[in-house]
Amino acid sequence: MTSAIAPINDRILDESGKLRPAWVVYFSELDRGDVGTTWSPPIVNLTVVGTPVITGVYYQNSGFTDFAIKIVPATNTSSTLGVTTCALPFNVVADSVANVAAGTGVSFGVITASGRTLFLPTWTTVAVPITITGRVKN
């Protein structure tokens, strides 16, 4: 979803027949798409040693939301399937999956539409950064 708002109170063309600047900006924004929204993912029941850095970003385009969450452990983190969750700040129409990558390991989390919740898979004492990515219908 773009943040550009059509300048409907401004004529689209100037006296010479060229696009007015407000409309040029509007059409440029449409082409660029969503530049992303950062957020602080509220991960619940994540077991940590030290204080990890947790960041997130999501993009909304053409009826879908793509997101990424990065967990950088201070020492290590652990998660339990069905217990460790993250509330998502965007609409979710259908259940989906999330890819969870840590080092050379990959597993999957589950996203429920009814609660807009990401359920993380089980991992134990992982000391490398964890990247979670997914796409949902919004």
Q: How far apart are CA 123 and CA 132, in angstroms?
A: 13
Residues 28 and 48 in one domain: no
The domain that holds 71 is classified in CATH as: 2.60.40
**Total of domains in the chain:** 2
Q: What is the pLDDT of residue 61?
A: 85
Q: What is the pLDDT of residue 32?
A: 65
For 51, the domain range is: 37-137
109 near 123, Cβ under 8 Å?
no
Residues 60 and 127 in one domain: yes
Residues 120 and 77 in one domain: yes
Residues 21 and 41 in one domain: no
Residues 87 and 106 in one domain: yes
State the pTM of this model: 0.78
Residues 123 and 81 in one domain: yes
Q: What is the pLDDT of residue 3?
A: 53
φ, ψ at 31 (rounded to 5°): -70, -35
Distances (CA, A) of 58 to 76, 91, 102, 104, 113: 25, 12, 20, 24, 16
Residues 23 and 68 in one domain: no
**Segment 71-93, tens digit of pLDDT:** 999 999 999 999 999 999 999 99
Residues 98 and 120 in one domain: yes
Q: What is the pLDDT of residue 24?
A: 85
For the chain, residues with pLDDT lower than 70 are 1-4, 31-33
Q: Which residues contact 19 (CB under 8 A, 6 or more apart)?
A: 12, 13, 27
